[in-house]
Amino acid sequence: MLCDWPFLFMSDKLQFVGHKAPPLSAHSKFVMKPTIMKFGGTSVEDASAFRNVAAIVKSHVRLRPVVVVSAIGGFTNALLASVQQAIGGDARAATKSLDHFLGRHVAIALDLLNLESRVAFELTVAVARREIRQLHKIIAVHPVTHRPLQDEIVASGEQLSAQLLAAVLREHGLAARYVDARRCLKTDDNYGSAAPLPETTPATRAELMPLLASTRIPVLGGFIGCTEKGVTATLGRGGSDYSAAIIGAALEAREIQIWTDVAGVLTADPRIVSNARTIPVLSYQEAAELAYFGAKVLHPKTIQPAIDCRIPVRVCNSRAPAEAGTLIVAESEATAQTVKAIAYKNGITTVQVTSARMLGAYGFLRALFEVFDRHRTAVDVVTTSEVSVSLSLDDASALPQLIADLEQLGAVEVEEHRTIISIIGEGLRNTAGIAARVFSEISDINVAMISVGASSVNLTFMVDEARAADAIRRLHYVCFERPESAGKRAGLAAEEVPA
């Protein structure tokens, strides 16, 4: 099948405008398709984690791996914090704050690399520090220039981890080759949340196909790309998953593997529900909704390139590599189970606009959404009544300007510290009684903005942030844990109720 990627992102939701990439050469059809293996920050936090990744890659060599890696755990946060320090005027302290993390890289190299490779890598770290120092100095003097410079600084996390991992893989006898991801991923200049451009496909193929043809293992940093002008840009927090999917689509990969610190996509966030279980198979749509509504295990944009090229995505546990994890494919297996997972997103702001002008009038909603468009603010959930509209915002940074404009249309009420909870599962729209079961279980918790049926796989509602964890635990219990009723409540046929 001819792969349609890359398309341009038009909004935060999954929406693309087309551009057909040329097919891979006839010759490449006869060799095995590559497998993208992406390792997150938690999978590369110390020497033993790097060793573990090397063992996993080694056991997948016959699948023609292309390795994509995140910055080592915690480094991206530290790099971003250092930029804030520089903006505050203290460039010296900003650079100094990174020394602990740079030291962690050197310690891993000391543990895992031979003398020659270690010395070369130490030089790479020293050069990176010097460059970051210069950038901190510029930001301290001209804080307004910080957006592209921030991306340049933050990108050094992935650049260092990818160079280190390539060296570690070579140390383990693998023919690994570091590739600067900026040579492959071409983006627009929306720094901090850049979108891939169509040039990504030919650039990625030109860089990586010759390496794959000579049985090398390319190793790239995730999360980073480069604009037409050659300036470094990043794809947004958690964006290494997205890089893996973009590269996978460009190469028409056999599979995109996301290696992380949990056993695949689970029925709920394990930080809230300790009994959360692995979901063996998810459809693309279920996974996209889960990611969009807060399941951090996948970046929300990861699924679209996979859908466009019909590439399976597998979420695997780097701490238990033999486990199957979660397979995400076009259609999840026909199973009687309706509810597959519970996702949530904290820190939501809701805005309610009430106006008698809405009654029977047309044009009101257009005027309302134009306000959000003007202030480049994405809306997640919308509910309407005869005279009011409620909208939920993940990013409320433009709230003061939004309120000023919305007040021209009606009375505005804002509520902060809200949580969107989503119950996700294919066939939810057509399964009777799910909403009743969900809401009767949490009848003592105030629920607002209920949206069911807008998507066939999703039931969402809003609660107060302070009540969210309690609600999620109780819903997980009724949907997946309660022995005698788990099957019934989750929509399982009686004979499939777990013993």
Binding site for ligand ASP (CB under 6 A): 40-41, 70-71, 76, 157, 222-223, 237-240
Query: Footprint of ligand ADP on residues 269-298 (CB under 6 A)?
Result: 269-271, 295-297
Please pick, from the candidates 6, 65, 238, 248, the single residue that binds ligand ADP as defined by CB under 6 A.
238
The Cα 189–Cα 151 span in angstroms is 11
**Residue 286 C-beta: closest distance to ligand ASP, Å:** 21
The Cα 102–Cα 69 span in angstroms is 17
The Cα 395–Cα 373 span in angstroms is 13
Spell 187-219 as b/e; 16+ CB within 10 A means b.
bbeebbbbbbbbebbebbbebbbebbeeebbbb
Between 257 and 377, name the residue whose CB sits nearer to ligand ADP: 257
Question: Which of ligand ADP, ligand ASP, Mg ion, none lies near 427, with the C-beta cut-off 5 to 8 A by kind?
Answer: none
Question: Which of Mg ion, ligand ADP, ligand ASP, none lies near 76, with the C-beta cut-off 5 to 8 A by kind?
Answer: ligand ASP
Q: Counting contacts by CB under 6 A, is residue 341 touching ligand ADP?
A: yes
Nearest CA to 132 among 180, 191, 187, 81? Answer: 81
Between 177 and 319, name the residue whose CB sits nearer to ligand ADP: 319
DSSP run (H or E) holding 147: helix 146-171
How far is CA 248 from its chain centroid? 15
Token pair of 347 as six digits:
């820190």
Please pick, from the candidates 34, 221, 238, 294, the single residue that binds Mg ion as defined by CB under 5 A.
238
Question: Which of ligand ASP, ligand ADP, Mg ion, none lies near 42, with the C-beta cut-off 5 to 8 A by kind?
Answer: ligand ADP
The Cα 63–Cα 403 span in angstroms is 53
**Residue 77 C-beta: closest distance to ligand ASP, Å:** 7
* Torsion angles phi and psi, residue 317, rounded to 5: -100, 115
Q: Counting contacts by CB under 6 A, is residue 347 touching ligand ADP?
A: no
DSSP run (H or E) holding 187: strand 186-187
Between 296 and 429, name the residue whose CB sits nearer to ligand ASP: 296
Q: What is the dihedral of CA 287, 293, 298, 300, to 10 degrees?
A: 90
Q: Counting contacts by CB under 6 A, is residue 323 touching ligand ADP?
A: no
Q: Counting contacts by CB under 6 A, is residue 219 touching ligand ADP?
A: no
Question: Which of ligand ADP, ligand ASP, Mg ion, none lies near 222, with the C-beta cut-off 5 to 8 A by kind?
Answer: ligand ASP
Size of the site for ligand ADP (CB under 6 A): 19
Between 76 and 304, name the residue whose CB sits nearer to ligand ASP: 76
Counting Cα atoms < 13 Å in the Cβ hemisphere of 181 gives 36
Q: Counting contacts by CB under 5 A, is residue 6 touching Mg ion?
A: no
Q: Which residues bind ligand ADP (CB under 6 A)?
A: 40-43, 70, 238, 260-262, 265-266, 268-271, 295-297, 341
